[in-house]
Chain A
Amino acid sequence: PTPSRLYSESLMFRKQEVSL
C-alpha cells in the first residue's frame, strides 16, 4: 500500500485562497 500523505499535511498552514 502507498504510504498516506493525508495525515502529514497541516490543516492550518496552507494556501487559503484561489481565484474565484
Chain B
Amino acid sequence: SLKIMGEDVWKNRTEKVNAELFTLTYGSIVSQLCIDYQRDFQKVNKQLFSMGYNIGVRLIEDFLAKTALPRCENMVKTSEAISKCAFKIFLNMTPQVTNFSPEKDAFSLIIDENPLSDFVELPMDAMKQLWYSNILCGVLKGALQMVQLECDVWFISDVLKGDAHTELRIKLNKVLKDEIPI
C-alpha cells in the first residue's frame, strides 16, 4: 500500500520539473563547492550534508502533508516509507532496502538510478574522498530528526567511485522525546 500511495502521489499530487535541469543544477553546485573549497573534498562533503540537512527539516513537512502517513512503528516501516514513498515522490525512484542489522535499527538503501549523479564522472583527485550525492544524507538526517528519529546517515559505496553499486546506510541512534522546557 505504501508503494501504491507513493505512485499515486507522484502521478497526481506532485508538480514536476525537468530532471536534466535538476541534475545540471546540482552538478553546478557541487563543482562550484569544489572550486570554492579549493578541492578540500572533506569540506565539500560536510557542506553538502549541511545543505541537505536544511532541506530535510523542511521537506518532511511537504512529505507528511502529501501522504498523511501515521508514525512508523519501527525502522522496518520507516525504511519502506523512505524508499517507496519519499524517494518515489521526490526523485521518482525506489531504492532497494537491504542489509538490516540484527537489532533492526539500521538498514541500507541501494540506489540504482540516482538523478543527482547522471552523466557525472568524478575527477581523479575527487574519486577517493568526494561523496557526490552527500546532500541525500543530510536530507534524510534532517527529515528523520523532525520525526523524532536521531539517525546517522552515510554513504558506504558509490558507482561514481567505481564501486559496484551506490549504498547509503541509515542507523537509528535514539528516539527523541519531547522534553518539557525548564
Contacts and interface: CB of A to CB of B under 8 A. Distances in A.
Direct contact between A and B in the complex (CB less than 8 angstroms)?
yes
Contact of A20 (B14, B115, B118, B124): B14
A19 B90 CA distance: 5
Interface in B103-120: 113, 115, 118-120
Interface of B: 10, 14-19, 22, 89-93, 113, 115, 118-121, 124, 127, 159, 161-162
Interface of A: 1-6, 9, 14-20
Contacts of A3: 162
A6 B89 CA distance: 26
B119 A16 contact: no
B16 A18 contact: yes
B14 A19 contact: yes
Contacts of A2: 127, 161-162
A19 B16 contact: yes
A2 B17 CA distance: 32
Contact of B121 (A6, A14, A15, A20): A6
B34 to A, nearest CB: 18
